[in-house]
């Protein structure tokens, strides 16, 4: 593997790691492990921890995938590995 592809792979791993930390944080973190802490706060009729478990994490997942897909397109171009 030449250096540019190596660098592409490292950049990819960094991006994925970051996204997965957020993925873990909103679902297992805010929605399960820290749910009692977040339930102290209320937004509208939602307790915050409950909201993360039933809606917030899903919206975050959705954002994450689109963010990842768009960032990867940039990386593809930057490292010259974009398909035609």
Partner 1 sequence: MDLQTLTYITIGLSFVLYIGIAIRSRASTTGDFYVAGKHVHPVANGMATAADWMSAASFISMAGLISFLGYEGGMYLMGWTGGYVLLAMLLAPYLRKFGKFTVPEFIGDRYYSQLARVVAVICLIFISFTYVAGQMRGVGIVFSRFLEVPVETGLFIGMGIVFIYAVLGGMKGITYTQVAQYCVLIFAYTVPAVFIAINATDNPLPQLALGSELSEGSGYLLDKLDKTLMDLGFGDYTSPFNDKSMIDVCAITLALMVGTAGLPHVIVRFFTVPRVRDARISAGWALLFITILYTTAPAVGALSRMNLITTVNGTDGSGTSYAAIPGWFKTWENSGLLAWFDHNGDGKVQYAAGNAFAGNGKPVFAGEQRGPHRERVTSNPGDGKPVGNAPFANEIYVDRDIMVLANPEIAGLPDWVIALIAAGGIAAALSTAAGLLLVISSSVSHDLLKGTFAKGISDRTELMAGRIAAGVAISIAGYLGLHPPAFVAQVVAFAFGLAASSLFPVILMGIFNKRMNKWGAISGMLTGLTFTLGYIIYFKGIFIEPFAANIPENWILGISPEGAGVIGMALNFIVATIGARNTAPPPPHIQQLVDDIRVPRSS
In the complex, the residues that contact partner 1 under the rule CB under 8 A are: 1, 5, 8-9, 12, 16, 19-20, 23, 27-28, 31-33, 35-36, 39, 43-47, 49-51, 53-55, 57-59, 61-62, 64-66, 68-69, 72-73, 76, 81-84
What sign results for the dihedral spanned by CA atoms 71, 74, 79, 83? positive
Phi, psi of 43 (to 5 degrees): -120, 115
* Residues 60/68, Cβ–Cβ less than 8 Å: no
């Amino acid at each position: 593997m030449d250096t540019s592809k190596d660098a592409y792979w490292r950049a990819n791993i960094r991006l994925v790691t970051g996204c997965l930390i957020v993925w873990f944080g909103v679902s297992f973190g805010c929605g399960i492990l820290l749910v009692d802490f977040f339930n102290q706060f209320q937004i509208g009729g939602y307790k915050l921890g409950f909201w993360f478990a039933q809606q917030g994490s899903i919206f975050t997942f959705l954002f994450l995938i689109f963010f990842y897909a768009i960032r990867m397109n940039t990386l593809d171009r930057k490292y010259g590995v974009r398909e035609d």
